[in-house]
Chains A and B, each alone.
Chain A
């Protein structure tokens, strides 16, 4: 019996029938699953994927690189007598499909031969669906010249500031067309877009240098995200702040109250909440690489992760966010659930395999692969900090000695996600309830539950912003995970700050 879970999805209709993948993908999928079925495997699926990526990179006023890359192939996953096998190929042909299917079965047989504990999968309803990410302007239809002009203008404007010595800028767009078919009967088609843009100014002063960046979030939307970001209008501010930052006084080490903006918090949440809430880590699957988790399974439902102000919610149903793909690569529908509720750790990101190991009746739908050539693994969901009731001014007003931090800087955390250290992109001193001048070289560090336990206020929903990551490293061979983290600014009391 499945739990009652809120299930929402992005719009489902193909917007352009002419751009749908070649229908022979259906034939490939049928051929693959039939070939595997002969072996007696208990489960199999195939993902066929065509990705198009356009990346434009500028450096020091010039366009340094424009790449338009198409990447296509398929991967077949087989569960045979409780052992996994996976084989993949970029040779998409009638001859290759059965060969790769046989190889996946052979590999699964090998895994099964050593398995003392057989893999089982929790149930999931059969789904047949088409998912199209929402967008107004297809980024691949926007003239290239318009994009390069935008980046050159942004770089030109930041370098008009006398002490800015370097600039960079970039635009990125990706379209994934994917077919997922499983031996259980699920049949899912995807047409997903994602875009992002950014630029940076680097200023030099008195033998030092410092950078200030402007970045849009990575979102599953169209070029409207870039058009609305107003790069040229933002460039003078970014350049001026780069100069102010490099000339700013270095922070004096000590205890400070911190007010963290949404972009900065996206990384703090990602590292200190997102990763430890991955159930495969808690179960030891990543012990040799990404690490394990201090949120061990005995802590679910009882462990105080943070203060009562801390509500961290996984929402893979929010349109435009990176993990809102309708279904994961287990064919499980995207969901919304609590990770931390009123400060207590209550939920994990799971897939069909790991959910079974902790007695959950359904996967949370967080099993994703970064390519046709990668096997899906548990990934962080769109975990966000729920808004509170304060205004941004309220957060600042109640601080006697503090620092307001925007954006991302240095970051590092131990392999169980306890001891972390973060910098930022820009820092302002707060004194007696007022934001003062910028600071430089601010680094704060702490222990995750102690840090989140010091949270005493979160700004309201009007301040909520979303930021995403497409380079979340995990797995061997390494994969890049995609997810969005939303937050309103939040305040943390008496955090240990050192000079970087």
Chain B
């Protein structure tokens, strides 16, 4: 593979300031916000142990929001020329002037400083199509040795992200993101593993490929078990799928209106008392950032402490109405236990007399938002555990369960581990041993 000329370099801090000033200096609005997202990303995708997609994209977006007397308009453009930025400003001003007054409008935050986070790693910045192809080939090659089919992705990206406002708000950060996911097919059987990290070097391609291979090979012969309530061992990816829905349902406005599963439960126990949910933006294995898209600093915060709900997710207006001065953010979630009984999934397996081991959940959706009953399917590695050992693979189940019930039926859990799925962001969560988990039906494979 030859090497093309490098892309035009990403928008730098000073360049963003220059672009923002082009807008801010000309704006006639009471308040003006300019947001930057300039990303160079690439993905190598493979299936049937062949490369099926190999893409590289540079996309820059600038968004301008203008407000006049609480009337607000937003316009965006991918063209960074001065004329296009002025056009975006004019469109935002036009929309704002025609908009009805928003009773919940607030001027932009005026933070001048933000936590410094190492959100960009040089090895990921330097990665290009050749490196991604090399990693993909590594996974494919290991599967070929086992006479198995590999399907997956290797991706990497570098983003310049910024926000500036006429009141002096200014934040800029470079962020990298690297991802690997792999589904290994052994005939009808599948095994899966995935990783996401700021550093491409932290994807652990070989280790995760062997994990997926192991699951696929163990799934070759399937048993069918009846639906019902089971003791389950949820691997971190499966726990991440449930935790993510908890995070999405913590909205304070819905809480106030009585349309949240948490309504009335602030200060009350919602999980087993061993569990604590925090935002840890400084954790090296999480995707912490210095600031949010609203221009708010991202800080460490505690949402659920020893099972008790301590925090809600606020828009700025609702936060003001509640007198919340520091709005907590949740881009680096970590669920941990005060007394983990095990360090690894295998330790939980050894504790179980009879249980279902779940690698991952898929297509999780709400069934009843009032109590957060969810449904979804097990996927890519579901096993029967008996007497502390995996004894068979089983056909995939559909579950019908609320994490608010499940996380109160905790028997034991591990230390938090890295987890990411196709339906979640990156989290640190434990594997969990949970009793009476409800599987409502079984599928054909």
Stretch from A78-86, A180-188, A216-224, A332-340 contacting the other chain: A78-86
Interface status of A136 (Cβ within 8 A of chain B): no
- B76 near A71: Cβ-Cβ < 8 Å: yes
Besides A106-B4, A110-B1, A287-B190, 13 more A-B contacts (Cβ < 8 Å) are: A62-B100, A66-B73, A66-B95, A67-B76, A68-B91, A87-B57, A90-B58, A90-B61, A108-B54, A288-B151, A416-B443, A419-B443, A498-B400
User: Which chain B residues border A500 with CB–CB below 8 Å?
Assistant: 367-368, 373
Q: Nearest Cβ in chain A — how far from B129, in angstroms?
A: 5
Assess the A68–B95 pair: CB atoms within 8 A: yes
Count of chain A residues with a beta carbon within 8 Å of a chain B beta carbon: 84
- On chain B, the residues within 8 Å of A68 by CB distance are 73-76, 91-92, 95
CA distance A375 to B52 in the complex (A): 11
What are the residues of chain A within 8 A of B441 when measuring CB–CB? Answer: 419, 421, 445
Known contacts A91-B60, A412-B377, A419-B444: does B78 contact A72 (CB below 8 Å)?
yes
Q: Does B108 contact A (CB under 8 A)?
A: no
Is A418 an interface position by the 8 A CB rule? Answer: yes
Q: Is the CB–CB distance between A62 and B5 below 8 Å?
A: no
Residues of chain A contacted by B63 (CB below 8 angstroms): 69
Considering only residues 1-54 of chain B, those with a C-beta below 8 Å from chain A are: 1-5, 7-8, 41, 43, 45, 47-54
A89 CA to B6 CA, complexed, in Å? 13
Judge whether B443 and A418 touch: CB under 8 Å. yes
Question: Which B residues are CB-close (under 8 A) to A16?
Answer: none
Chain A residues, Cβ within 8 Å of B104: 62, 64
Complex Cα distance, B133 from A106, in Å, reads 12
Contact B444 A109 (CB under 8 A): no
Partner of B129 from the list A92, A106, A116, A377 (CB cut-off 8 Å) is: A106
Closest to A144 in B: B98
The 9 closest A-B pairs by CB, nearest first: A419-B443, A69-B76, A287-B151, A90-B78, A110-B1, A288-B151, A288-B183, A144-B98, A111-B51
CA distance A68 to B190 in the complex (A): 44
Instruction: List CB contacts (< 8 Å) of B390-428 with chain A.
Output: 396, 398, 400, 422
Chain B min CB distance to A98 (Å) = 9
Inter-chain CA distance A113–B50, complex, in Å, is 11
The minimal Cβ–Cβ distance linking A432 to chain B, given in whole angstroms, is: 29
Asked if B83 is an interface residue, CB under 8 A from chain A, the answer is no
B41 touches A477 (CB 8 A): yes
Q: Please measure, in the bound complex, the distance between the C-alpha atom of A83 and the C-alpha atom of B50, giving whole angstroms.
A: 10
Whether the Cβ atoms of A91 and B8 lie closer than 8 Å is yes
Query: Does A414 lie within 8 Å of B75, measured CB to CB?
Result: no
Name the residue of chain B whose CB is nearest to the CB of A71: B78
Q: Using known A-B contacts A91-B8, A165-B259, A415-B379, determine if residue A67 contacts B75 with beta carbons closer than 8 Å.
A: yes
Residues 70 to 120 of chain A near chain B (Cβ within 8 Å):
70-73, 75, 83-92, 96, 99, 102-104, 106-111, 113-117
Determine whether the beta carbon of B445 is less than 8 Å from that of A418.
yes
Docked complex: B426-445 residues within 8 A CB-CB of A: 440-445
Q: Are A412 and B47 in contact (CB under 8 A)?
A: no
Q: Does B364 contact A (CB under 8 A)?
A: yes
Contact yes or no, B4 A412, CB < 8 A: no
Is A160's CB within 8 Å of the partner chain B?
A: no
CB-nearest residue of chain A to B41: A477
**Alpha-carbon distance A107/B133, docked complex (angstroms):** 9
Q: How far is the CB of B379 from chain A (nearest CB, A)?
A: 6
The DSSP consensus for interface residues of chain A is mixed
Residues in B neighbouring A148, C-beta threshold 8 A: 98-100
Contacts of B375 in A (CB 8 A): 410, 412, 421, 443
Question: What chain B residues lie within 8 Å of A318 (beta carbons)?
Answer: none
B13, chain A: closest CB distance, angstroms: 20
A91 to B80, CA, bound (A): 8
Give the number of chain B interface residues (Cβ < 8 Å): 89
Q: Interface with B: A121-129, A201-209, A383-391, A457-465, which one?
A: A201-209
Chain B's nearest CB lies how many Å from the CB of A43?
15
Beta-carbon nearest neighbor of A61 in chain B = B103
A412–B364 touching, CB < 8 Å: yes
Distance, CA A436 to CA B315, complexed state (A): 42
Chain A residues within an 8 Å CB radius of B41:
477
Least CB distance, A326 to chain B, in whole angstroms: 25
Known: A418-B443, A421-B375. Is A289-B422 also a contact (CB below 8 A)?
Answer: yes
Tell me the A397-414 residues at the B interface (CB within 8 Å). 410-414
A152–B99 CA distance with the chains assembled, in angstroms = 11
CB within 8 Å for A86 and B56 given contacts A68-B74, A70-B76, A421-B375? yes
Within 8 Å by CB of A70, from B77, B149, B370, B440, lies B77
User: Given A288-B47, A288-B152: A208 and B76 within 8 A (CB)?
Assistant: no
A65 within 8 A of B: yes
Does A73 contact B43, Cβ atoms closer than 8 Å?
no
Provide the bound-state CA to CA distance between A57 and B8, in Å: 36
Chain B residues with CB under 8 Å of A117's CB are 50
Which of B52, B95, B376, B440 has the most C-beta atoms of chain A within 10 angstroms of its own C-beta? B52
Task: List chain A residues, Cβ under 8 A from B73.
Answer: 66, 68
Task: Give the residue of A60, A73, A289 whose beta carbon is less than 8 angstroms from that of B78.
Answer: A73
Q: Which of A96, A418, A441 contacts B444 (CB 8 A)?
A: A418
A113–chain B nearest beta-carbon distance, Å: 7
Cross-chain contact B257 with A165 (CB below 8 angstroms): yes
Among candidates B130, B192, B258, residue contacting A165 with C-beta atoms closer than 8 Å: B258
B20 to chain A, nearest CB (A): 18
Whole-angstrom CA separation of A441 from B192 in the bound complex: 34
State which residues 466-500 of A face B: CB under 8 Å. Answer: 476-477, 498, 500
What 0/1 pattern do residues 156 to 174 of A give for CB contact below 8 A with B?
A: 0000000001100000000
Whole-angstrom distance between the Cβ of A416 and the nearest chain B Cβ: 6
Q: Is the CB of B367 within 8 A of A410?
A: yes
28 A-B pairs, CB-CB below 8 angstroms?
A63-B99, A63-B102, A68-B76, A69-B74, A71-B61, A72-B78, A89-B58, A91-B8, A99-B4, A102-B5, A106-B3, A107-B54, A113-B1, A114-B50, A114-B133, A148-B100, A204-B258, A209-B259, A284-B47, A284-B185, A288-B183, A410-B375, A414-B445, A418-B443, A419-B443, A445-B398, A447-B443, A476-B53
Is A89 a contact of B57 with CB atoms below 8 Å?
Answer: yes
Least distance between A161 CB and chain B CB atoms (Å): 15
Is A6 at the interface (CB under 8 A from chain B)? no
Residue of B with least CB distance to A447 = B444
Partner pick for B440 among A83, A85, A116, A498, CB 8 A cutoff: A498
Is the C-beta of A303 less than 8 angstroms from some C-beta in chain B?
no
What residue of chain B has the Cβ atom nearest to residue A477's Cβ? Answer: B43
Q: Is B356 interfacial (CB 8 A cutoff)?
A: no
| Distance between B381 CB and nearest chain A CB, rounded to angstroms | 13
Q: Does B255 contact A (CB under 8 A)?
A: no
Q: Using Cβ atoms and an 8 Å threshold, which residues of chain B touch A73?
A: 59, 78
Q: Give the chain A neighbours of B47 by CB distance below 8 A.
A: 283-288
Question: Which residue in chain A gives the minimum CB-CB distance to B378?
Answer: A414
B209 interface residue per 8 A CB criterion: no
Residues A32-77 near B (CB distance < 8 A): 60, 62-73, 75
- B197 at interface, CB cutoff 8 A: no
B79 with A419: CB separation less than 8 A: no
Instruction: Assess whether B52 is in contact with A84, with CB atoms less than 8 Å apart.
Output: yes
**Residue B230 interfacial (CB < 8 Å):** no
Q: How far is the CB of A323 from chain B (nearest CB, A)?
A: 21
Question: Smallest CB–CB gap between A471 and chain B, Å?
Answer: 13
In the complex, what residues of B have CB within 8 A of residue A204's CB? 257-259
CB-CB under 8 A from B153, the residues of chain A are 288, 476
For residue A143, CB closer than 8 A to chain B, the reply is yes
When the two chains form their complex, are residues B379 and A114 in contact, meaning their CB atoms are under 8 A apart?
A: no
> Distance (Å) between the CB of B181 and the closest chain A CB?
6
